[in-house]
Each structure stands twice: as C-alpha cells, then as structure tokens.
Amino acid sequence: MDAFMELYFEEVFENLDRDALISRIKRKELVEYFNTVIDGCAKGQNKSDDVTCKKFVLSAIKYHNDRKSDNGDVCLMGKYHNLLYIAIKLAFDWGLKDNGTVAALLDELYACERTFERIFLGAIFGTSAPYFLAGWKSDFSNREENIHALVFFLDHATNACLEYTEDNKKYRFIDVPLESCGRASPVRVVIQMGASEILLILLRFGAKITADKVSTNPIESILDKLLEYNRKYPYELISCLKIALRATERITFTIDANASEYLELPEGYNFQRKLALEKYGEILEDHLIPTTRCGLKPVELKHICRCKVREILWRNFELPFGIEKLPVPDSLKKYLDLLDD
C-alpha cells in the first residue's frame, strides 16, 4: 500500500489540475477508486481492512504535510487540501478504529481551517445547505450519514482527548466554533435551528452550554424565541429546551452588571428570580421551565448529582460511554446520559 500511494502521488495526483477535487462528484469518484484500492490491497497482502485504510490515511496526511512544508508551512489548498476530505470519507466508510490516526487527521484539518464545520454542518443542515452557507457540498450522501459521521469523529476525538487553543482559550473538538456561522458554537447553531436530535447527541458527548463569541447563554435564546410565539410553542423548540435543561444545573440569566448599582437595590437582591418571574412569567405558567431550574426553588438533589457526575466524566474525556462503566442501575445510567428527565 505504501509503495502504491507513493507512486500514485508522484505519477497521478501531481498531474491533476489544482481545482480537480473542488466538485463533490470528483471527490466521490476518487473515494470510490480508493475504496477499491483498499479492498484489493487488503486481500492481496492478507491484511485487515483497518490496517490498509490506516496506511492510506497516514499517506494522505504525510503528502499534505510535505506539500505544506514545501510552501513555507502554508497549505496550498485546492486538491492538496481536499485530499484530507478524501481521507475523512474513507476513514468513516471503513470505520477506521485506529484512534491515533483519526486524531492526526483531525489535527491536520484544524491546522489549516481552524474549524471543523465540514463535519458538523452537514449533520445540522443536511447535504445541500452548506453550499449556500460556505460554498461547499458535504462528502456524505445524506443527512443520516452526516449524523453517523459526526458521531464517529466525536467518538474518536473524545478517546484521543483532543483540545485546540484559540485566543488563549481551549476548545474541545465538539465546541470548536463554526467559521461560516459567525464563529458560533455548534450547540448554539443547533439550538437556533431547533434540531433537538443533534442537540441531544452533542450534549451527551459533553458539549458546553455556555456563552460564546456570539451572545449569552443559549438557553436564554430558546426562551426569548418562545416568547415570540404567543404561547403557541413549536415542538422542536420545546424539545431543545427540555434537553438543554437536563445538561445544566440551573439557568443563569444575563444581568446588566451596573443594574444593581444604578437602581440602588439592596445587597443580595435576587435578580435571577426577578427576571424569571417578569420576563419569562408566561413560560413559567405554562410549566416549560421547572421552578427548580430558574432560581425560584432549590435545584433537585438528584439533578445536581447528575450534573456533578457528568462534570467529572467530562474532565476525564469519558462522556458518554464512561457512564456504562459506573456501578449504578441501568435506569440511572439513562438519567446520567440525558436520555431521561
């Protein structure tokens, strides 16, 4: 396989036009070609598909890195960069198990793009929408395959404990901002889309529901949207709210830092309670927010324990599969995994 790839890059790939892989159809053709090569080499050399696929992915990474080094450590883009997406698709197609190889592929991708939006956007929006957002089409055939691919790479990134630093802040793979969505976090984009199925996947893997460069706490954005519907709430938005509430101990409402001083209110005045009652009173009346999650009553001990256990698992890169290792009943495992309220 190594000799074949070296010959292919020298004799075939180098002679392709620079924009030869811009088209999704051309990338698909090359993926199908390499699928045949991997299958043939595995059988011919009596090696496993996983080993053969690993060799291809490592060859692609090395070739991309060598061309980048030759260009002053700047990616040449075009076919040279799209080769990484050929490797991404093949790693998924063959279910590559080697965690270090998949992690190296993700690291190489991030070094050029500073985002993983081409893994996330297809799962969030489907196969066509990314073209209008970012000018490219997903390499996965439909939204379902995009979702499976997202889970595949989330699993590998978690097992590899991948973290990326930007503006002196560390992001895990699952929280890296999406460039074409105004640098919003994947969780915020999913909530804005009302995609509760994807939100559950992200939160199970430990995505953070926190303020980002775009605005404040994403749960507040759900509540603000619900206010626009005059109590005729859309199902998907309510589902997002309920799922988000499972993953956070309590809602922290945004408060003007100077409000207390300006209004000359007594020390310790409960702004959280005031906002919950006045701004979101209708939502409270309709029982969409538990009073225990917005400062009106103490948070349930069971829910606090869930949040603390998940926090410890998150620190150790054990979400969500580490939950199965815990010596607790299956019903509690589902509760910890956000599958039950």
Domain locations in the chain as residue ranges: 1-113
What confidence tens digit (pLDDT) does each residue in 71-97 have?
999 999 999 999 999 999 999 999 999
For 265-279, the DSSP string reads PPTT--HHHHHHHHT
Other Cβ atoms within 10 Å of 180 Cβ, number: 17
319 and 205 Cβ atoms separated by less than 8 Å: yes
Q: Give, in order, the Cα–Cα distances in Å from 26 to each of 62, 79, 121.
A: 22, 11, 21
pLDDT band at 241 (very low <50, low <70, confident <90, very high): very high
Give the pLDDT confidence score for residue 265 in this predicted structure: 45
Mean pLDDT of the chain: 90
DSSP 141: S
pLDDT band at 259 (very low <50, low <70, confident <90, very high): very low
Work out the percent of the chain whose per-residue pLDDT is above 90: 72
Q: Does residue 130 have a cis peptide bond before it, meaning omega lies within 30 degrees of 0? A: no
Give the pLDDT confidence score for residue 276 in this predicted structure: 75
- Shortest CA distance to 96 belongs to which of 49, 45, 46, 64? 49
What confidence tens digit (pLDDT) does each residue in 278-311 have?
888 899 899 999 989 988 889 999 999 999 999 9
How far apart are alpha carbons 39 and 25 in whole angstroms? 21
Q: Is the pLDDT of residue 228 over 70?
A: yes
